């Protein structure tokens, strides 16, 4: 019998989406076929420690990680393995835990989805699911992402990037500049976060003052954006490397005034409509923009492309690409694929194939001039 593919599933992590990641990982682990895969679980704590042991995921879910072992991925190539860091007298030693063919980060937000982890995986020269360093970090940074979209002629909402230092120095000058973007409501957002953390919808000048201060708690760089009127939120799933495919479109119906943190994770009543009720011309346009954006940031594996649609004019704006979208079996990303004919298990298999394909391409790339 052919050797099983050895997969390391990484979950948890240092971001505010730690708990969401545990839920996504539970779904992924449940469908990794034991006939095909040998799976090692690695939980990452909120402090950034990598851990493994019996029932790693359950230990994390119960907040009971004391009995787990510290795990290390060496940063140099040629190991393709995880090691346990063992206490050895007064020192520490490494003992091999598992050889790994493919790393599957099921991590959302900073330190998982933003290119930092991907940098480590590149240094270690291992195959991994999802976008590389640049695709991940551009997907995470709302400021740079918008500039790349503008350069590629993909419609986005008018916006302004300001630094925390400018807000601290003269907030009224920032507000004056922001008001040139358009009429209220304006949105204030930290450039590098997710889950709507630090985001405010500002209906007035005083709201904007508060919104800027709030966003500046979470990042040095802050985006101010014109609010889209009669907004509908349309999402599409993208899958592939150099020839990405798109799913049908879905629509999110937030339970609150906008798709805030509470609406996403507290209420549990935000609705998903799949497929979204849209004229074919509009959904075609959305899918085409999604593919162009995906290629523009050199995305790989998967992304969920989130759009704003003005419900009166049908004007479409790309909001963001999430390179490691929510991945529970009831999340939008896999549900859109399900509605497009790909089961959750098939999707996970395909992501692993794409990771191996990308690694093969990397192996065919010279990193220096050969004599």
Ligand X SMILES: Nc1ncnc2c1ncn2[C@@H]1O[C@H](COP(=O)(O)OP(=O)(O)O)[C@@H](O)[C@H]1O
User: Which residues are at the interface with ligand X (CB under 6 A)?
Assistant: 157, 187, 189, 194-196, 199, 225-228, 231, 233, 254, 258-259, 306, 308, 319-320
User: In 3D, which of 12, 240, 36 has the Cα closest to residue 106?
Assistant: 12
Which tokens in the block code for residue 121? 């995986």
From CA 354, how far away is CA 217, in angstroms rounded? 38
**Burial per residue of 237-263, b for 16 or more beta-carbon CB atoms within 10 angstroms, e otherwise:** bbbbbeebebbbbbbbebbbeebbeeb
Instruction: Tell me how far, at minimum, the Cβ of 160 lies from ligand X, in Å.
Output: 12
User: In 3D, which of 250, 207, 197, 251 has the Cα closest to residue 227?
Assistant: 207
Measured from the CB atom, the residue of 16 and 43 that comes closer to ligand X is 16
User: In 3D, which of 352, 77, 357 has the Cα closest to residue 241?
Assistant: 357
Instruction: Tell me how far, at minimum, the Cβ of 210 lies from ligand X, in Å.
Output: 16
Measured from the CB atom, the residue of 219 and 233 that comes closer to ligand X is 233
Side-chain half-sphere of 350: how many Cα atoms within 13 Å?
A: 17
| Run of H or E residues at 215 | helix 205-218
Phi, psi of 264 (to 5 degrees): -75, -45
Measured from the CB atom, the residue of 27 and 263 that comes closer to ligand X is 263
Instruction: Tell me how far, at minimum, the Cβ of 323 lies from ligand X, in Å.
Output: 12
Instruction: Tell me how far, at minimum, the Cβ of 147 lies from ligand X, in Å.
Output: 16
Measured from the CB atom, the residue of 196 and 237 that comes closer to ligand X is 196
Which tokens in the block code for residue 109? 């937000």
Measured from the CB atom, the residue of 187 and 344 that comes closer to ligand X is 187
Measured from the CB atom, the residue of 80 and 260 that comes closer to ligand X is 260
Side-chain half-sphere of 210: how many Cα atoms within 13 Å?
A: 7
DSSP-assigned states of every residue in 278-326:
--HHHHHHHHHHHHHHHHHTT--EEEEEEEEEETTT--EEEEEEESS--
Instruction: Tell me how far, at minimum, the Cβ of 26 lies from ligand X, in Å.
Output: 22
Instruction: Tell me how far, at minimum, the Cβ of 99 lies from ligand X, in Å.
Output: 36
Instruction: Tell me how far, at minimum, the Cβ of 254 lies from ligand X, in Å.
Output: 6
Measured from the CB atom, the residue of 101 and 233 that comes closer to ligand X is 233
């Amino acid at each position: 019998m052919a050797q099983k593919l050895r997969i390391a599933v990484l979950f948890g992590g240092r971001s505010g989406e730690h708990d969401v990641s545990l839920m996504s990982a539970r779904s992924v682990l449940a469908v990794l076929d034991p006939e095909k895969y040998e799976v090692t679980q690695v939980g990452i704590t909120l402090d950034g420690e990598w851990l493994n042991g019996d029932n790693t995921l359950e230990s994390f879910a119960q907040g009971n990680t004391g009995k787990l072992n510290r795990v290390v991925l060496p940063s140099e190539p040629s190991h393709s393995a995880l090691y346990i860091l063992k206490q050895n007298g007064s020192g520490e030693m490494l003992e091999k835990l598992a050889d790994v063919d493919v790393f599957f980060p099921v991590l959302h937000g900073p330190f998982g989805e933003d290119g930092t982890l991907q940098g480590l995986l590149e240094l270690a020269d291992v195959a991994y699911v999802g976008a590389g360093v640049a695709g991940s970090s551009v997907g995470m940074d709302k400021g740079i992402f918008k500039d790349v979209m503008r350069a590629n002629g993909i419609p986005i909402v008018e916006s302004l990037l300001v630094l925390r230092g400018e807000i601290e120095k003269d907030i009224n000058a920032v507000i004056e500049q922001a008001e040139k973007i358009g009429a209220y409501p304006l949105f204030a957002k930290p450039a590098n976060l997710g889950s709507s953390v630090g985001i405010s919808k500002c209906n007035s000048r005083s709201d904007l003052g508060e919104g800027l201060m709030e966003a500046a708690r979470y990042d040095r760089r802050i985006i101010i954006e014109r609010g889209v009127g009669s907004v509908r939120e349309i999402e599409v799933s993208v899958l592939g490397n150099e020839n990405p495919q798109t799913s049908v479109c879905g629509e999110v119906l937030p339970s609150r005034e906008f798709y805030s943190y509470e609406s996403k994770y507290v209420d549990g009543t935000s609705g998903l409509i799949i497929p979204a009720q849209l004229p074919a011309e509009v959904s075609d346009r959305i899918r085409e923009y999604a593919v162009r954006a995906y290629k523009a940031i050199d995305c790989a594996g998967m992304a969920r492309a989130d759009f704003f649609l003005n419900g009166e004019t049908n004007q479409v704006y790309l909001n963001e690409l999430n390179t490691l979208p929510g991945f529970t079996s009831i999340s939008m990303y896999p549900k859109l694929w399900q509605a497009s004919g790909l089961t959750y298990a098939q999707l996970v298999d395909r992501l692993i194939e794409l990771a191996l394909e990308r690694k093969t391409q990397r192996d065919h790339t010279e990193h220096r001039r050969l004599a």
